[in-house]
């Protein structure tokens, strides 16, 4: 256990002596991580991007999105009000 504590980051507070799985949640979630970037390709990429954008706006308030098209790549940028909303949206949509 001593070796584990010595090798971990100062941001991690690992206090579980049985499993070593406790981590300070602030080390995992950054409160400013509110921008989700999704890159899509294929003939229906723009449609998929618009669908995801609409889902985010319907699910959460104060969501802003932008779709960028460059060559054959479509990039969707979704800015959430809170990082927790971003994480929930990613989990719900398997992103």
39-63: pLDDT as tens digits: 999 999 999 999 999 999 999 999 9
Q: Look-up: residue for tokens 């690992």?
A: 14
Average pLDDT (9-17) is 59
Give me the chain's average pLDDT, please.
84
What SS3 state is found at 58?
Answer: helix
Q: pLDDT digits over 67-85, tens only? A: 999 988 999 999 999 999 9
pLDDT beyond 60 at 13: no
CATH 3.30.70.860 fits 31-95, yes or no: yes
Of residues 48, 34, 37, 50, the one with CA closest to residue 87: 34
Crossing angle of helices 83-92 and 45-59, in 10° steps, is 130
Handedness of CA 44, 74, 60, 85 (dihedral sign): positive
Task: Parse the chain into domains and list their residue ranges.
Answer: 1-29, 31-95
């Amino acid at each position: 256990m001593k070796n584990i504590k010595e090798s971990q980051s100062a941001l991690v507070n690992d206090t579980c002596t049985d499993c070593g799985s406790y981590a300070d949640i602030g080390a995992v979630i950054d409160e400013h991580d509110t921008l989700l970037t999704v890159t899509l390709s294929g003939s229906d990429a723009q449609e998929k991007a618009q669908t995801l954008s609409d889902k985010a706006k319907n699910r959460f308030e104060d969501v802003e999105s932008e779709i960028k098209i460059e060559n054959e790549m479509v990039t969707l940028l979704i800015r959430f009000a809170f990082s927790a909303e971003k994480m929930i949206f990613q989990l719900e949509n398997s992103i």
